[in-house]
Amino acid sequence: MVSADCFEDKEVGIEELRAQFQQFQRATHELQKAYQSLKERAASVDRELAETNRALRSRLEERERILQSMPLGVFHQGPEGLRPGNDEGKRLLQDLDGVLAPELCRLVPGKGVARLEIEGMDGRRRNLDVTSLQLGSKESEVLHFVVDQTEVLSLQEELARLDRIEGLATLSLGVAHEIRNPLNGVRGYASLMRRNPHSERVAQWAENIELGVGRVERIVSDLLAFARPEKRGNPKTMSLRSWLRPLVEDFRVSCSEEDGRLLIEADPIAFPTVLENLVRNAKEAGATEVRFERKSRGPQWIALLVEDDGSGIPAGWRERVFDPFVTGKSEGTGLGLAFCRKAMESMGGSIVALNDGVPGARFELRVRCGQRGGDA
């Protein structure tokens, strides 16, 4: 027979189980609430992180746009070495491959603007202004900002050259006019002396005077031509062979059959004088032939190579030969090539010397393509 105490013990056990189960349910509920709260917090953190990432990405993209739009090269120097930070930096690093990086890495940050002169892969010298900044407290982290000043300096030099030439042209014009009038008088008196000489000696003196006057007149003509190359006629289109034809009578001037048919539009007064000056210079330098050939051709322009077999341009004179009054000849005026450059520029073309210090002068003429219908 089961005693009452036994039932009471069972009653107590069930109540404890019920209480424990209710406690378990409450704990489970609290855990579910905590889990839900954590889940919501995690979702909130994910949203905040996504928003932060979007903002960071936007700032990085904006910084990248700013870096790419900068007219200067940006470089980051760190433990891994030097790397470009924008397209201009990549271009500079490519153009100055193997030369720029060591020069930048030698610079001390915080020392103001440094000027570097570096020769590129194409042989051109580049003038670079560099500002170097240290990143925070890390001595190994440096930013370099590189501005290519080559074109700016080149333009400044060109403006200075044009100003100098303009002043020389004005002076030349004044001197030429002042000399020409008394020169005509001297020539007239010398001619009278030669026609009515009192002796053979006087006749010889008169002839020498006339020869000297002839040389001075050539100088005056060169001065006037240099001072006023823009005094031109209407552009004319002719084949290269036709432009060269007047020169063939006095000197050996050649071009290939195909190149001779090239149509060139040029000033009928200035361009023949340019060609004549080039041939005359070659002749005076001991050349036996001047050859013209096509170097390249575009839709509107032709690059002509003019080459002779004379003594060539003195070393270091590739640019100087175009300066007024610069000549290596004892009787030269130094105005022939100065006129050529000024005349070609006034026609919208150009002339450059391609070599110096070696036998045989080489020039490149950039002339305008002519349209069919011109003279043969």
Query: What superfamily in CATH does domain 236-369 come from?
Result: Histidine kinase-like ATPase, C-terminal domain (3.30.565.10)
pLDDT of residue 293: 93
Q: What residue segments make up the domains of the chain, in order of their start?
A: 1-69, 73-148, 153-227, 236-369
Contact criterion met (CB below 8 Å) for 335 and 325? yes
Residue indicated by tokens 């030669």 = 194
Q: For position 296, what pLDDT does the model report? A: 87
| Longest CA span, the chain | 184
Three-state secondary-structure class, residue 113: strand
Model pTM above 0.75: no
Fold classification of 153-227 is Helix Hairpins (1.10.287)
> Does the CA dihedral 309-310-315-319 come out positive or negative?
negative
| DSSP string of 226-263, one letter each residue | HH-TT-----EEEEHHHHHHHHHTTS-EEE-HHHHT-E
Q: How far is CA 228 from CA 72, 75, 126, 173, in A?
A: 41, 50, 35, 8
- CB burial class (10 A; 0-12, 13-18, 19+) of residue 283? middle
Helix axis angle, 270-284 to 336-346, nearest 10°:
150
Q: Are 156 and 166 in contact (CB under 8 A)?
A: no
| 309 closest CA partner among 291, 321, 334 | 291
Kindly state the tokens that stand for 227: 């001072």
Stretches where the chain sits below pLDDT 50 are none
CATH architecture of 73-148: 2-Layer Sandwich (3.30)
Cα 293 from Cα 290, distance rounded (Å): 10
Among residues 255, 211, 369, the alpha carbon closest in space to that of 303 is found at 369
d(CA 300, CA 371) in angstroms, rounded, equals 10
Going by the DSSP 8-state scheme, the letter that residue 288 receives in this structure is S
Question: Where is 93: in which H helix or E strand?
Answer: helix 87-95
Asked whether this chain's domains 73-148 and 153-227 adopt the same fold, the reply is no
Per-residue pLDDT tens for 245-274? 999 888 899 999 999 999 999 999 889 989
Kindly report, residue by residue over 321-348, the tens digit of the pLDDT.
Answer: 888 777 776 666 677 888 888 889 888 8
pLDDT at 244: 94
Using an 8 Å Cβ cutoff, are 135 and 77 in contact? no
**How is residue 313 annotated by DSSP?**
P
